[in-house]
Amino acid sequence: MASIVNYYKDLMYNRNDPRTQDWLLVSGPGPILTIILLYLYFSVSIGPRLMRDKKPFDLRNTLIFYNFTQVLLSMYLVYEGLMAGWLYDYSYKCQPIDYSNNPQALRMAHAVYMYFICKLIELLDTVFFVMRKKQRQISFLHLYHHAVMPICAWIGVRFVPGGHATLLGLINSFIHILMYAYYMLSAFGPEMQKYLWWKKHLTSLQLVQFSIILVHNMQVMVTDCNYPKVLSFLLIVNAGLFIYLFGSFYVANYQVKRENVLIAREKSKITNGMIKSNGYTNGTVTHDYARSYKSD
């Protein structure tokens, strides 16, 4: 037991980046773990119980403002990630961490910290679902994604605020520009639905994102790169898990659903043909199936 405690102390307080150790919420794991546990408790227990006998909140203006802010923050993170290294100086094959006080290295460290703060702000996604009584939206994938990303970002700020793994934040922030733009437009109401045909492509982009992250970190494992291989291995495992979860979501919500719609349309044609052969029409049934297909 003593050896475990000593290893923990050595890891937390001797192998961390001294530049970031006193930044807000970064001094130790206690604050971030407390936030995540409270988030999970609110999302699956106390939140739904508080809303059980209440009407859903109308958060239209709040959601428009929130999602617009997220778009701006994501654009800022993409810009900072590019300017701090990935556009000019960083190597996509192997990028060690610069722990110096070089202005460029500090700029990347601050970008990683801002990414961490944004992951905490994104916990509001779930809070808004609870307040709107959209509990079906709070899936295992949703909770896992929102709980794990702040912890990953905290590890980045505490130990590796720069280098190879920051490509993850750059790509993720780019995806979030599109994602929160979609959420912002959908918050305006049903009249915007005709412009939101590209929803399923967001999931496709998520799958591409995690595939890039997986391959990008595999390079560290097979090359002599001065970057923590343990961290790269954990990112590979996490990316693989996300590929499985998002892939399952895509198949269930788009491929299977579309196949069911096509089957329903074929049944409708058969039913229409049988009824018409008996001297009747079935305009109502045809309309209902068409309306169902259009809504998907």
Alpha carbon distances (Å) from 152 to 23, 31, 113, 115, 225: 16, 14, 11, 10, 21
**pLDDT at 267 (0 to 100):** 65
CB of 186 within 8 A of CB of 67? Answer: no
Determine whether 145 is an active site residue.
Answer: yes
Does 62 fall in a domain? Answer: yes
Domain count, the chain: 1
- pLDDT digits over 165-210, tens only? 999 999 999 999 999 999 999 999 988 988 898 888 998 999 999 9
Q: For tokens 């609110």, name the residue.
A: 42
Q: What is residue 193's predicted lDDT score, i.e. its pLDDT? A: 86
C-beta pairs of 263-271 under 8 Å, 24+ apart in sequence = 264/289, 264/292, 264/293, 265/289, 265/293
User: Taking Cα atoms as reference points, which of 133, 121, 119 lies closest to residue 43?
Assistant: 133
Tally the residues of the chain. Answer: 296
User: Residue 268 falls within a domain, yes or no?
Assistant: no
Catalytic residue among 145, 164, 176, 201: 145
DSSP letters of 196-230?
-TTHHHHHHHHHHHHHHHHHHHHHHHHTT-SS-HH
Q: Is residue 256 part of a domain?
A: no
The whole-chain average pLDDT of the chain stands at 89
Can you give the residue range of the structural domain that contains 104? 13-196
Domain assignment present for 88: yes
Q: How confident is the model at residue 13 (pLDDT cuts 50, 70, 90)?
A: confident
CB of 217 closer than 8 Å to CB of 236: yes
Residue 286 confidence (pLDDT) above 80: no
Domain annotation covers residue 107: yes
| Nearest CA among 66, 36, 290, 43 for reference residue 149 | 36
Position 296 confidence tier, pLDDT thresholds 50, 70, 90: very low
**How much of the chain is in helix, strand and coil states, percent to nearest 5?**
75, 0, 25
More confident residue, 273 or 199: 199
Q: pLDDT value at position 12?
A: 87
The pair of structure tokens assigned to 153 is 């970002």
Longest dimension (CA), the chain: 86
5 has pLDDT over 60: yes
Asked whether the predicted pLDDT for residue 40 surpasses 50, the reply is yes
Q: Per the domain annotation, does 5 fall within a domain?
A: no
- Tens of pLDDT, residue by residue over 57-90, are 999 999 999 999 999 999 999 999 999 999 999 9
Domain membership flag for residue 210:
no
Is residue 97 predicted with pLDDT exceeding 90? yes
- Dist. CA 36–CA 41, nearest whole Å: 9
Q: Is residue 265 part of a domain?
A: no
The pLDDT confidence band at residue 277, using thresholds 50, 70 and 90, is: low
The average pLDDT across 152-171 equals: 97
Question: pLDDT tens across 220-271, in order?
Answer: 999 999 999 999 999 999 999 999 999 998 898 886 656 655 566 666 666 6
The confidence band for 289, taking pLDDT boundaries of 50, 70 and 90, is very low
For tokens 């150790």, name the residue: 21
The one-character DSSP state at 253 is I
pTM for the predicted model, two decimal places: 0.85
Q: What is the pLDDT of residue 86?
A: 97
Rounded-to-integer distance, Cα 33 and Cα 56, Å: 29
Instruction: Tell me what pLDDT residue 263 has.
Output: 63
Question: Is residue 295 very low, low, confident or very high in pLDDT (cuts 50, 70, 90)?
Answer: very low
